[in-house]
Structure 1
Amino acid sequence: MDNPQASRRAFLKTAVAGLPLVATAGVGTLAGTVTAPSATKPGPVKLSCNLYSFNEPLMNGQMTLEQVLEFCADLGFDAVDPTAYYFPNYPAVPDDRYVYEIKRKAFRLGLDISGTGVRNDFTLPDAGRRKAEVELVRKWTDVAARLGAPVVRVFAGLGKELSPSQPRAEVTSWMMDAIRECAEYAGKQGVMIVFQNHADYVQTADQTLEIIRRVDSEWLGANLDIGSFKLGDPYAQIAQVAPYAATWQIKENLFVDGREVPTDLGRIVQIVRASGYRGYLPIETLGKGDPRQKVPVFYEKVKKALAVNG
């Protein structure tokens, strides 16, 4: 069986040799994540906008989803990533008419739909409630297939309902079972499940990769959220997960030893290139401020970093 992840992992060893991959306190490295070098040409990437950047105007009604699509198209994005809760009546799925209207709108604007995602929690102690979370992902996988979105983002979960004595190994097993079921279903719809590190119950590269590697499905990859590694050196962890990335979230800031600092976009692009990644590179702005001002500024910064590090 062909294994594109293996070839990307091999190339990464050579290409990021100059990056610091030293484990820090509380953050280890997974043996075998990077293997013997092999030459691979870095692939082309396309810029997408994760529409969480427009969360406030979308949620308070200042902008419609259609208006955000128009804004992104006018700015020059190749694609958009609209999270499921920007569709009417979430978590219920929208009717086909609305789904296809959004799909047509994006197509006519020259935008691809690079993905979507849900709010889910696979750390819930009650098995019946976890089953309902799996069903939520399944329903929105169907929506993604109708939209033409290649991936659905899922989380581990918050772990807020767990007792302090709950064994982590058991919770990880719950998560893997749920994600495996989602990936098996998604594969039948031609959609990938992408597991997002989100500084929740899963906080490190090792924890992220443990799940992806043990589930071991061609229909599961990483949604590499560069701003959600808050322990240790984020660049080392990003490089560690990069060969498994099926999509990304590029953010303005990340956390170095727990301190929020501006992202070194040149360094991030080098990791993206080194991993051999080919696909969409969604960007996301957070925090206060008008996204109609913030998104264009960050978009230009990312474009410049891609051009300089091409």
Structure 2
Amino acid sequence: MKSIIFTTILVALFATNGFSQPANRGSIGEKSRVKIGLNFFSFDNPIKNNELDIFDVIKYAASIDMECVDITGYYFPTYPQVPSDEYIYDVKRCAFRNAIDISGTGVRNDFTKPDLAERQKEIQLVKDWIVVGAKLGASTIRVFSGPAIPKGYTWDEAAKWIAEATDECAEFGKQYGVMVAIQNHNDFLKTADEVNKFLSMCKSDNVGLMLDIGCFRTSDPYAEIEEVIHHAITWQIKESVFINGVETKTDVKKLMKLIQQKNYCGYLPIETLGKGNEKERVKTLFIELKKEVKAP
């Protein structure tokens, strides 16, 4: 009996190693429930050109009946430095008064830097903005893995230290109620297999996937999406996917059917890219998605 108990304890310790390792990291429920919203990168040019600010974009999202916004960190005027509490709470109050959830924020980090001291700077950037996210009431912070495999290293070597950095941020985020969403960005993480392998290396249960539908450049991006949807805690829903590298209009009906069949629950931020009127493009994709949402 004692040997059985001892073995059980050893197995548990080995399995957790101080963290939990869930097979399913995502927001999967008994039935799908979603809130469609806006990723601020859709208004990248107008914000950078000072034609719109954070408050304008929140109000626009509300005007077309969106339910949430993902406010990328670098649209705050002080980025990469954190904004004042006064500014953060002005943004939060604006969202509240317009019945808009702040689903997340994000930073432009690089965990593929081989030098530990340099990676620690990137980790600190994420931690600083986790605190901002918590003050905003955000559920997630989007992080990147990094642009590519560093010269002289293998994918596995780099993935190990990227996972360690991601875990450190995630455990810090757990203290603030903010989950870390690693984005597949056609950079270090290119395929569903790489996403699944990488997330299996992350030990924290406070890590999930920002599922970017436009960054799987394979013969069947929808199959790739299906392979990783169980890790998704937020999304970037785009107008186009890439099939064998060719930009192709997103099959919204097929995508939403997949999301609902897999019982995803949570936010679906839209990110439109390219030329054209930003407001019109966002509204067009929003209407398309909304039409395909079936009642739970």
TM-score by length of 1: 0.85
Corresponding residue number in structure 2 for 1:44: 33
Corresponding residue number in structure 2 for 1:156: 145
CA distance in 2, matches of 1:136, 1:6: 24
Corresponding residue number in structure 2 for 1:191: 178
Instruction: Confirm or deny: 8 A CA contact 1:203 1:231 kept in the other structure.
Output: no
Corresponding residue number in structure 1 for 2:60: 71
Structure-2 change in CA distance of 1:133 and 1:249 (3 Å)? same
1:106-125 to structure 2, matched below 5 A, reads: 106-125=95-114
1:80-229 to structure 2, matched below 5 A, reads: 80-159=69-148, 162-163=150-151, 165-229=152-216
1:259-274 to structure 2, matched below 5 A, reads: 259-274=246-261
Query: Residue by residue, what CA displacement relative to the aligned partner does 1:103-141 show, whole Å, maximum 9, x if unpaired?
Result: 000000000001111000011122111110000000000
Counterpart amino acid of 2:269? P
CA distance in 2, matches of 1:244, 1:256: 22
CA distance in 2, matches of 1:41, 1:145: 28
CA distance in 2, matches of 1:202, 1:140: 22
Structure-2 change in CA distance of 1:3 and 1:213 (3 Å)? closer
Q: Gapped runs of 5+ residues in structure 1?
A: 10-39
Give the deviation of 1:159 after TM superposition. Answer: 2.4
Instruction: Confirm or deny: 8 A CA contact 1:138 1:186 kept in the other structure.
Output: yes
Instruction: Confirm or deny: 8 A CA contact 1:239 1:271 kept in the other structure.
Output: yes
Structure-2 change in CA distance of 1:8 and 1:152 (3 Å)? closer
Instruction: Confirm or deny: 8 A CA contact 2:39 2:236 kept in the other structure.
Output: yes
Q: Gapped runs of 5+ residues in structure 2?
A: 1-19
CA distance in 2, matches of 1:64, 1:190: 27
Give the deviation of 1:255 after TM superposition. Answer: 0.6
Corresponding residue number in structure 1 for 2:282: 295
Instruction: Confirm or deny: 8 A CA contact 1:242 1:271 kept in the other structure.
Output: no
CA distance in 2, matches of 1:128, 1:2: 27
1:248 equivalent to 2:248? Answer no
Q: Give the % identical residues.
A: 41
Give the deviation of 1:42 after TM superposition. Answer: 2.2
Give the deviation of 1:91 after TM superposition. Answer: 0.3
Instruction: Confirm or deny: 8 A CA contact 2:26 2:232 kept in the other structure.
Output: no
TM-score by length of 2: 0.89
Give the deviation of 1:258 after TM superposition. Answer: 1.2
Give the deviation of 1:41 after TM superposition. Answer: 3.6
RMSD: 2.0
Corresponding residue number in structure 2 for 1:258: 245
1:237 equivalent to 2:224? Answer yes
Give the deviation of 1:218 after TM superposition. Answer: 1.6
Counterpart amino acid of 2:90? E
Query: Residue by residue, what CA displacement relative to the aligned partner does 1:262-287 show, whole Å, maximum 9, x if unpaired?
Result: 01111111111122111111111100
Count of residue pairs brought into register by the alignment: 277
Instruction: Confirm or deny: 8 A CA contact 2:238 2:271 kept in the other structure.
Output: yes
Query: Residue by residue, what CA displacement relative to the aligned partner does 1:51-108 show, whole Å, maximum 9, x if unpaired?
Result: 1101110111011111111111011000111100010120000010000000000000
CA distance in 2, matches of 1:192, 1:7: 11
Secondary structure of residue in 2 paired with 1:115: strand
CA distance in 2, matches of 1:225, 1:170: 24
Give the deviation of 1:6 after TM superposition. Answer: 8.0
Q: Comparing 206-215 with 254-263, which one deviates more in the overlay?
A: 206-215
Secondary structure of residue in 1 paired with 2:281: helix
Instruction: Confirm or deny: 8 A CA contact 2:222 2:255 kept in the other structure.
Output: yes
CA distance in 2, matches of 1:77, 1:137: 27
Secondary structure of residue in 1 paired with 2:237: strand
